[in-house]
Amino acid sequence: MKSLLFSLLTSLILFSCSTPAGNGLQDLSATDFQSALQTSPAKQVLDVRTPEEFAGGHIAGAISADISSEAFQQTADALDKNKAIYVYCLSGGRSSQAAQQLVSMGFKEVYNLGGGILAWNAASLPLSTEIGAPIQQAGMTLTAFETQIKGKKRVIIDYNATWCGPCKQLSPILEAYVKDQKGAVELIKIDVDANPELAKAKNIEAIPYLELYQNGKLTWKNVGLIGREELDKL
């Protein structure tokens, strides 16, 4: 009896992990997302970033459907609602919004890439350009980054992107804090879109992301929007 109960429980767990939740939406890790794409008989993959981001490198087979434009609705309307659809962006925020919209449109199975392209890169998974060639990593290298902070007494690194709303909210808070330190703290801003190699090397999966280095050593980090009170505790 115990063996039977264990088998039933195991089957239920496996089933729940391999199918979307009751609302038809499920977040997947980068490796699970890739595995699902490789085994999916009919691939419907939406890249909901901007066309410029898409052109810089995307998951092979994806369709560009910017969530901030009419292209998203138009593209989604042309797809089969009875087949699984996979959606992603840079860090997961825009794709979560898109995934919810797809569910409301009647798609039965919607899979969202948790952490987006940042998580995909951190897992060392391949990206493609328009012609399907592997994307060339660009921007600052980890070695160049370490050289940049070497010898600095206190420096805050702000990893951000131009499209990131929370990043824009955080920026003036950081700038005001650094100004009030009267030269005791330096602020360095790094756009993760422009520096994918560094973002991958540091396993950045969400933004805004902050780091504090003191004499070249990482002493504090934070993911997400924070207020001035948290910075004053540093």
Please identify every residue annotated as catalytic: 164, 167
Cα distance between residue 204 and residue 130, in whole Å: 25
For residues 57 and 208, give the distance between their C-alpha atoms in angstroms, rounded to a whole number. Answer: 21
Q: In this structure, are residues 211 and 189 in contact, taking their beta carbons and an 8 Å threshold?
A: no
3-state secondary structure of 139: coil
Where b means 16+ CB within 10 Å and e means fewer, 11-27 reads: eeeeeeeeebeeebbbb
- C-beta neighbour count of 141 within 10 angstroms: 14
What CA–CA distance (Å, rounded) separates 52 from 37? 23
On whether the CB atoms of residues 103 and 24 are closer than 8 A, the answer is yes
Determine contact, residues 109/79, Cβ cutoff 8 Å: no
Q: d(Cα 227, Cα 201) in Å, to the nearest integer? A: 27
